[in-house]
Chain A
Amino acid sequence: MVENTSLLEWAASALLFAQELPTQPVYTIKHLGAEFVGSKKTVYRRIKSLIPLGLATYNRGNFTIKKDVISQPFDVLKKLMPSLIALKNARRFGRSYNNADINFVINSMPESTMVTLDYKAWELTKFQFPNDLYIYVNDVDKGVSFLKENGFSEGSRGHIILLPKIGLFENQMERVYLDCIANGGRSILDAISIELLYSDQINTKGRFFIDTIKKVQEDLPQDQLDKIAPINT
């Protein structure tokens, strides 16, 4: 945990820089350099420090950042570290690249595994249809061997994702919630729906745009909305 916090502190100036950037899917270094930090090299150095945390990608002068994750307050980012590192070390597998892969793994998972993100969020909220099966396993190498023995291949298109168990799992609801924030993108909507429905089980609260919260509230299925009626009154 101390090591994780140091990694975050090491990236602190990069986080501040990234928080200040306007929201865009892709940034071009040559268009940002002088305007934001004075030199292209500085921008590059800062982006590079976000890559080990899975918060940025860089390719030929262009970069992406997980703006919705980076915008979290520092104390929330600290709590996200185990999730960020687990996601950075995730390994993805596929065999038939459809639901058959998901069903096979769900039916063969040992009890020690824990499902998170898409499928867990769907089970909890019925808000967004799931796509990928993310599972925490005690021993990633064993999990990889099992999948390979059963005809799965590692690559970028599979729907089975193995995550190393890093950090705390006592409060599973909170862990799933933090994983959703750390994953960013559409998982942020899952995090909001989990917070709306299970607020009493979550100690660390993320920060989200009000329009996004409103969108989730509006689009939650009716039976789920009934559970949060007291919040709106």
Chain B
Amino acid sequence: MKGKSMPFELTKEQRDIQKAAREFAEGELLPEVALEHDLAQKFPRDIWKKACQLGFIGIHFPEEFGGQGCGVLENILVTEQFCRKDSGLGIALSFSDFASEIVLRFGDENQKNRFLPPIPKAKALSAGALTEPEHGCDPESISTTAKREGSRYVLDGEKSFVINGPTADWLVVLCQTDSKAKPRSGGQSLFVVERGAEGLKVVPSGEKMGMHMTGMGDITFSKTRVPLESRIGSEGSGFDRTKRFLEENRMEVAAQAVGIAGGALEKAIAYAKKRYTFGRPIIEHQGLQWMLAEMATQVEAARSFLYDVGSRFDRGEGKIGPQTAMVKMFASDVAMRVSTDAVQVFGGLGYMEDLPLERTMRDSKATQIYLETNQIEKMVIGDYLKR
């Protein structure tokens, strides 16, 4: 058994998963397919189906719900390999089960049996409607309400920038069930709502800088009636559970970021070896070599940090919330810097759509923003430091 202080090492099984994910990505996440989907702003359904068939999606679900019974770290390894090969396809695949972990970790048996199995089978996409147009990540002031009326809840309100909003078959929604609760976060509850529910309207959030293969929607609930059974956990538990979901999902975003940065770095190194200026490969120019050295160091540091936090989560170590915030912020900042520098190494060529570098840079920016902005991560870390 490894103690906490032992150096981190992947098991043979984890390395096999990593290798399988890499092979799948190399074979399926092809640049021309990516470019086509990116320009058409289309979710990659065919690749998603294949990834599901091979067990990559929902790998962290127990086998009874169609998963592989793996931990968060295995999910991290898969996500990293997908994003390493292609940022846009990787993000879309990684988020295909977005917020399903809320049902997985906190749902009852009926909810799990009903909502989880379609996810790894490529029968459903999930979403989480947690952000609101006027309140962003501020949980104290959400205005979407769920009022109990007999055997139902009636949902009213708006959520914005919902990942998978336009494509999801079901989504988890954070609502205020008790408007008098103090703090307000103690009066919030989670519900799972299916596509087609009455009064549920989704419109795309608009044109984005990147992550074009992942839909984003603004959602309106207008007298949306849902049965009591759609409430996840007890009334008033929504905020706490959302927080715990965010902790888990920050690692997934960090995995996307590490993959994106690692992929951009590899492409930059390969190009630096074959591109000549002033009679020699550009990697022979020391200034460029040092730039690559800094990029590589950042990627290594982010990856080690992520694997460490992921394995601590899987070992059931509690209270790693601040570390998840740190790794999300750090890895996404690394992805932004490294992908920006990778474009720089490629020069004019890097700026063109012919190569995935410029898209990768645009996709990287999203990892610093979505789920929660890195400013919010700093607040989470700051609160922890104060304690």
| Same complex | no
